[in-house]
A and B are shown apart, each in its own frame.
Chain A
Amino acid sequence: QVQLVESGGGVVQPGRSLRLSCTASGFNFVNYDMHWVRQAPGKGLEWVAVIWYDGSDKFYADSVKGRFTISRDNSKNTLYLQMSSLRVEDTAVYYCVRGGYTSVRLGGAWGQGTLVTVSS
């Protein structure tokens, strides 16, 4: 079955960096756009970033532009989110989310999320 498993979360100090990973299985990863979505404690969902199926293009929310980098390794069925210059307001559960296959779509599958806590 389709599965997305995030890892790499943890506690980090403001200004430091962290890299999240998402390993996909049960579907042809190379065919799908992939997203990161986050949710701060007690708050709603916030879309973070997307990468095209072939890595040819990437887009970011204004709140993370210039600080976060989304990437993928299709040979490893893995999605990444490199987070730099972390701020307290980046504290959230980060979800890996499958996008569309030659279509506009968000949420074909969701991971269980990984918690990132930015605190001194």
Chain B
Amino acid sequence: QTVVTQEPAFSVSPGGTVTLTCGLRSGSVSSSDYPTWFQQSPGQAPRTLIYNTNIRSSGVTDRFSGSILGNKAALTITGAQADDESNYYCGLYVGRGLWVFGGGTKVTVL
């Protein structure tokens, strides 16, 4: 069973930078896992920020960027703003059409 790991929570100051990671309990994440990042604000449907490791979805600000850092996928938020306060989920493709999500990271801007 594939388990995707994310930090439970992160705090960032307004204007600051934070990097969230997405790992595998067993193994390394690579671009072949098609890492995808989603943002979800309370009461809202998720929206896709980054797909295929580092491609921003249409309309997503370049303050969000994706990468592979070591053996994990990473989402970096630069110039943090109040409305970046959300839950962030990563998803990894595990083959044969299947995807697995991480548990999500709650980001607080204060």
Question: A interface vs B, CB < 8 Å?
Answer: 33, 35, 37, 44-47, 50, 52, 57-59, 61-62, 95, 104-108, 110-113
Contact = CB atoms under 8 A, between A and B. Distances in A.
B48 A50 contact: no
Contacts of A61: 98
B interface residue count range (under 10 / 10 to 19 / 20 to 34 / 35 or more): 20 to 34
A106 B45 contact: no
Nearest to A93: B45
Nearest to B55: A105
Contacts of A59: 96-98
B46 A95 contact: yes
Main secondary structure of the interface of B (DSSP, over half): strand
Contacts, number: 67
B46 A47 contact: no
A37 B46 CA distance: 10
A52 B51 CA distance: 19
Of A47, A50, A113, most B-chain CB atoms within 10 Å: A47
A111 B104 contact: no
A110 B46 contact: yes
B46 A45 contact: yes
A113 B45 contact: yes
A57 B103 contact: no
A110 B87 CA distance: 16
A57 B45 CA distance: 27
Interface string B83-110: 0000101010100111111111000000
Contact of B47 (A33, A35, A110): A110
Contacts of B93: 104, 106
A16 to B, nearest CB: 26
Given A104-B34, A107-B38, A47 B45 contact: no
A61 B48 CA distance: 21
B78 interface: no
Nearest to B104: A44
Nearest to B47: A110
27 contacts: A33-B97, A44-B89, A44-B104, A45-B91, A45-B104, A47-B91, A47-B99, A47-B100, A50-B98, A52-B97, A57-B97, A58-B97, A59-B96, A59-B97, A59-B98, A95-B45, A104-B34, A105-B36, A105-B51, A106-B91, A106-B99, A107-B36, A107-B38, A107-B47, A108-B57, A110-B47, A113-B45
